[in-house]
Structures are given as C-alpha cells and as structure tokens.
Amino acid sequence: MPIGRPDLDSIYANLKIHLESGFADLDLRVERIDFDNEGGLLKEEILDAIEQCDLVVADLTYERPNCYLEVGYHMGFHRRVQADRRWRRLILAARADHQPDLPNRAQSQAKVHFDLGGYDLLYWSDPDDYRVRLMERVGRRAQLLAAHDPAELMEAEDDSPSVASSGGPLATADPVSARSPRLSADTVEGDWFRQHCETAGMSAKLLGYVEMRASVSRGDQPVLRPGELLRVARACARKGESIAYVYSREEFRPRPVTGGIRARIQYPSGGADRFEYWCLSERGEFYDLKSLMEDSVQVEGRAACPRETLWYDMRVYEHLAFLMYIDRLYHALGASDDATVHLSLVHGGLSGRRLDASDSLRSSIVKDQYPAPAEVSQVVVGCQMRLGLLRDPESLAQLVGDLCAPLFEVFDFAEVPTAEINELVGSWFRSHGYREKS
C-alpha cells in the first residue's frame, strides 16, 4: 500500500479498526511500517515484518515499484521456508480501475502489471466494499492455516498474531472469518454429528472416502419435522451432482429418524461398491459420508483404479457440488445471506494414492507427483463464512481452490494453478446448467 496517499491512508485506518475489532478474540494486530516502525531503516523493518507476520495483504493501487518488490520478496521467502503455505499467506488487492483488461483503458492509466495480473486479486470499488471483502478473505485464509496446523497461528515470539503493514504490503495476520465465529466443537462436531459418523462408519468399509459436514445459524426459526425435511431435501437434490440425491427406490429412499431424516445408498460399481450415507437434522445440520468416485467410476474411458489415484478435477467438482447443495439447502431452510455457515471436509484412504486427473488431457497439470506418504491417511479442512458468499462466483471459485489446496499438498506439495481451478469451476457450471455463473 503506497505511503503518502491520503485516500489509501484513510482506507488503511478504517481497515485496521475493523480487522482488530472483528478478530479481537485472536488479539490481532494490524501494522503498517510507516506508522508502526521501531526507529530503524524502514526497508529493513518491512522485510522483517514480511518474514515474521502470518499474512500479507499487498495493495497494488497506484502501481508503486516498492509494492511489487515486497510482494516478490514475500514469494521468494516463503518458497524457500514454507513452500507449501506460501499462497495462503499472501492476499493481493487493487482498486477496481486497475484491472488490466478493462475496455477503453488509456495507455498511461495505472494498472496491475503482467507478472501479478494472472493471480487471484481482490479488486475493490470503494472503502466499504474493500472492508467487507477483505475481512471475508482474510478470515478464510486464517481458517485454512488453522485447519492445516493450529499451532501455526501462534508462532510469533509474543504468542499473539501480528499484522504488519509496510509502505508496500499491508501484512495482516490470522483472523478467522469476516463476520462469524471460529469453527468450534459445537458447530460440526457435536453429538448429532458424532452419532451419524459412527453409524455411517459401522455400515461401510470404504477404500477411500469423503466426509462432508455443514451447519448454519438459523436464529430462532422453528425445528422442522421429518416430512418437511424430506420435501426440502427433494427440492434441493440435483441428479448428476451426486450429493444427497433423494431416490424413490425402496432400499435407497430416505427414512425418518429421531431428530431428522437419513438415507443409505450402496451398490456395486466398477472396482468397488458405490456408497453414500447422508442425513439432515431438524436444526439444519447436514452430514454426508461417500466413497471416492475414483474407486468405482469409469470416466471418459479411464477405468476406476481402487486405492491407486486421486483425481484432482473430480475433487474440484465434488467440492463445488457440495457448496452448491449447501447454498440451496440453507436458503430453502429460510437462512439469510448473512447467516453463518460452518463446513468441514475430510478425505480419507489417501495412503499410497497418486494425484492424477480423470481427464487424461489434464494429467500433465500434476505430472510426476509422488504418492501420498503412508503416514497421511486423511486430510481435514474446515471453514466458516456468510451464506451469501456461495452466490458470488469469484468468491466461490476461490473458496473451492482454498478448500482443495491442503488435500493436493500432501502429494509432494502439489499445486493446481488458479487458472485451472477457475476453468474447472466454469466447466462444471456450464455442464450443470448454471448459465448465470459460468
């Protein structure tokens, strides 16, 4: 963030107040070195802050060279020290009129330059838009850091998260979420979830699996009877999306149970049984345990290979299908866009698998990746957000990428480029008839 620009100085002061108050439970500190230096050379203090803080937010407005230099230093430092975390610790932002592909752009007009233009940038239109979207993005990054390594957020020498901001990047730290509480035991790990996790686990012997959990803040809305839940579940199911489909076949159809409904689907398919156990509670809690499609589905001539591969494109598609189902479900249950949604995804049975793609033309994206190490049997990722974010295509694509990243990283730090994630998201929307989001 350039120094000496009154408009940006004012925006920074506003962001500092809202970030520190919004994440007070983490004792968050927001710092910009021209305001918070210790009397040394600014350029040295800036580099020290970049190395020590938990998250850097770099605003590229006015295309100042020092901002680009400091972003490059951050990328280089974390590639060397924490290569598998470097993208989570950096958020790039710029005013909306700096988008390089704007029509009728004057050649002399400030813009985000080529080297960084291909990254996922937060383009803001006004101070309020900046505040809301930055808090949401910072919160998601912090939750991903905490989910991957909870101790990571407390590595600073004084045991409190730091947010530095230099004359270049605004380096922020590790809040949890924009307007919602931290993922906690009473959101997606309560007795109801534990009960169905145990029931589903006892009824399935899976080579690989994905477990999905969700809950929502519904205020004081009344609980729903099983018949009402069934009608909602039927309205939200989409054939072909493979999430909580409501079958009419007697052995697969949902059944009323204490406090909700549940369904169990199992049949032979390819190399292993296709399995799904899903349930919906009277309070809107959702649980789904599924076999990995990689173990039982033949796609475009590629045979299923039980226990051998994990298809990164299929993982992107399934994450997206889950998020779209949750969007439909909680809006159908009467939750507002401002309602807090808590999500958890667990991928298991990973040991010994290679990262590949169901589409052979995409295999080169992750070529030469080593198998998941034997000691990594599962990956757990959790987050929370406003429900309305699931209806914003840009935020949705980034969320899918953020949720998938910890899963891909166990395969020798594999990274799927942002452009590839965006292409897969767009392809999924087009193939499922979501023309307005494509």
Confidence check: pLDDT of 41 > 90: no
More confident residue, 353 or 181: 353
Q: What are phi and psi of 395, to 5 degrees?
A: -65, -35
Dihedral sign from CA coordinates of 22, 215, 330, 325: positive
Confidence check: pLDDT of 176 > 80: no
CB 86 within 8 A of CB 52: no
Token pair 């998020």 in the structure block, residue: 323
Q: Which helix (H) or strand (E) holds 238?
A: none
- pTM, 2 dp: 0.58
Interatomic CA distance for residues 330 and 340, integer angstroms: 10
What is the model's pLDDT at position 306?
56
Nearest to 89 by CA among 8, 148, 4: 148
Token pair 């479900």 in the structure block, residue: 329
Confidence check: pLDDT of 263 > 90: yes
For the ranges 32-36, 81-85, 259-263, 329-333, the lowest mean pLDDT is seen at: 81-85
Confidence check: pLDDT of 84 > 80: no
Interatomic CA distance for residues 417 and 415, integer angstroms: 6
pLDDT tens digits, one per residue of 288-334:
999 988 887 655 444 545 568 889 999 999 999 999 999 999 999 98
- Range ranked top by mean pLDDT from 54-63, 112-121, 228-237: 228-237
Parallel, antiparallel, or unpaired: how do β-strands 90-95 and 121-124 relate? parallel
pLDDT band for position 285 (cuts 50, 70, 90): very high
What is the model's pLDDT at position 345?
92
What is the model's pLDDT at position 262?
95
pLDDT band for position 171 (cuts 50, 70, 90): very low
The per-residue DSSP string of 202-233 comes to: HH---SSEEEEEEEE--TTPPP--HHHHHHHH
Q: What are phi and psi of 150, to 5 degrees?
A: -55, -30
At a CB cut-off of 8 Å and minimum separation 6, what does 124 contact? 93, 94, 95, 96, 130, 133, 134
For the ranges 209-213, 260-264, 333-337, the lowest mean pLDDT is seen at: 333-337
Interatomic CA distance for residues 341 and 146, integer angstroms: 17
Interatomic CA distance for residues 284 and 287, integer angstroms: 10
Q: What is the mean pLDDT of residues 103-130?
A: 80
Confidence check: pLDDT of 153 > 50: no
Confidence check: pLDDT of 177 > 60: no
Take residue 320 and report the two structure tokens written for it. 């997206």
3-state DSSP assignment of residue 10: helix
Residue 16's Cβ-side half-sphere holds a number of Cα atoms within 13 Å equal to 19
Domain-wise residue ranges, the chain:
6-154, 185-437
pLDDT tens digits, one per residue of 13-37:
888 888 888 777 666 788 887 665 5
